[in-house]
Amino acid sequence: MLNIDAIHLREINLPLAHPFETSFGVTTSRRILLIELESEGLTAWGECVAGEHPYFSDETIDTAWIITESELAPRLLEADVERGGDCPNIFRQVRGHRMAKAALENAVWDLEAQARRVSLAELLGGTRGVIPCGVSIGIQPSPDHLMDKIATELAAGYQRIKLKCKPGWDVNIFEAVRDRWPDITLSCDANSAYRMKDLENIVDWDRFNLLMIEQPLWYDDFYFHSMLQKRLLTSICLDESIRNRRDALAAIDMESCRIINIKVGRVGGFSEAVAVHNAAEERGIPVWCGGMLETGIGRSHNIALASLPNFSLPGDVSASSRYWTQDIIEPQVTVSAKGEITVPTTIGRGFEVQRDRIESITVRRQRLLAKARVTA
């Protein structure tokens, strides 16, 4: 039994090393909700990836804090918990709020790995000793800035370049990149910025030999993506549309995509992430691990997840230094010259938290205690 004695909620404020622009807007710093579990001398951590605004998801850090404090954490403290996989059932009465649920559930998986004295990757069923890494490059102030950024990331060894795009920042950009680097593995991510009126424009992207076009249409759509995929040679990858295993199966059966991006926070935690991975693997659909501007805590969880066998495409799990001047873990995540991250084999996440660093940037906190347990 995993006896959880206390749950800590912390909000930290962490500035990005560089602004990151998508079709949603520009992010220069992150308000981040961290979860810490205390259990019989062990401590485990989770990270909520909800943003400051309900743009990527209908969740925000503030809604996640409220639902965690008032609903999810009390349920977890009152439950008999044996493993991380118990959490979906513990939280089942609460609809939605998948990013809040994931922060708690992932911390429980971390706790279970420590209690079993295995690595988090091993506990999840990971088989990869290293994972291939790509990068996501936000919309830049100018094409020249973008070219410099791509050159830097290629020199660092990253195996796939993903370009954020939106109407007005697409065809001309793809042409310029392909003219300079005709053979690199290139993809794009629209974050739902296009509509069916843009269909002919998107179909024209076939000429750029993209690995995938990620979530071009509505964030909650399968049907119109299916129509678009039938017109494209390039694979569509779905991100926001895939909330769980059922969504993955529906998208695959409707031929709405040929690739799936799995973000552990988006689907509600490790249990559902593994279920989506398995569903895609059973049907021959490759998956990769997406990123949400996580700190090293969330990044360590992504590394463990990406060690599963069907994560066959380079994901967005990249080095800490790409996003943060100083991360909150030791050692910081690094990427080899081959564009790979070594999966930790030590007990738990494989990275220690910098508690002093976290304390110095904490702006809000709450501690919830378990009721006294009666033993025979």
Choose among 50, 12, 65: nearest CA to 264: 50
Three-class SS of 225-280: HHHHHHHCCCCEEECCCCCCHHHHHHHHHCCCCCEEEECCCCCCCHHHHHHHHHHH
The neighbouring-strand residues paired with 38 are: 6, 43
Residue 371 is a catalytic residue:
no
Residue 263 is a catalytic residue:
yes
DSSP 197-213: GGHHHHHGGGGG--S-E
Q: Which helix (H) or strand (E) holds 187?
A: strand 186-189
Structure tokens at 267: 């689907």
CA angle 267, 58, 203 (to 5 degrees): 75
User: Which of 101, 149, 162, 164 is labelled catalytic?
Assistant: 164
List Cα–Cα distances, 119 to 153, 212, 236, in angstroms.
Answer: 30, 32, 33
* Cα atoms found within 13 Å of the Cα of residue 165, Cβ hemisphere only: 28
User: Which of 101, 166, 230, 263 is labelled catalytic?
Assistant: 263
- Residues with catalytic roles: 164, 263
